[in-house]
Homo-oligomer: A and B are copies of this chain.
Amino acid sequence: MEEKLKLLKLLADETRIEILNILMREDSYVEKLACDLSLTPATICYHLKKMEAAGIVRSARSQFYIIYSLNKEIFDKTLSEIIRKDDTADVEEKYKKEVISHFFKYGKLTQIPTQRKKREIVLWEIAKSFEKGRKYEEKEVNEIIHRFHEDHCTIRREMLACGIMARERETYWLI
């Protein structure tokens, strides 16, 4: 999952917000937090581990206890910084989206691209309708492709040529 979404998901939980508010005031440890919030240590541990993995909190042993503390830097970001997708981040991905939105209208493929690179992007998009690991008969393959475009024969053939699908006799599957 994407980094920023993960951060938001972690913050969107009542228990974790309680924990963070306590840690804003002072560092603490599993049993104490469990006691403060009337939850079991297992539950607190579950939340702290999740937040630690995301860099929201840190831990350090001190004698008997493992003391958890806040990583304060995280909290200065604004919501729009977190929500907004950085367009420059993944140029390749952006290009794919452009191609897809150009060739698909309302879920239908308007035209089979002639440029190899674009054609491949479109074929991969169609391939999403097949399940990995499952075997399909030719009739099923045609039917699924047909939802996108009339000429299922060409597209089926191209998917084999691009190495997206494999075939043995009458059976097809995703590679």
Contact = CB atoms under 8 A, between A and B. Distances in A.
A169 to B, nearest CB: 32
B76 A78 contact: yes
A89 interface: no
Interface in A71-117: 72, 74-80, 82-85, 101, 105-107
Interface residues of A, number: 34
A107 B76 contact: no
Contacts of A83: 11, 17, 20-21, 24, 75
A32 to B, nearest CB: 8
Contacts of A138: none
B20 A12 contact: no
A79 B84 contact: no
A79 B85 contact: no
A76 B35 CA distance: 35
A114 B38 CA distance: 24
A1 B14 CA distance: 9
A171 B141 CA distance: 70
A82 B76 CA distance: 11
B80 A76 contact: yes
Interface in A1-43: 1-2, 5, 8-9, 11-12, 14, 17, 20-21, 24, 31-32, 35-36, 38
Contacts of A107: 35, 38
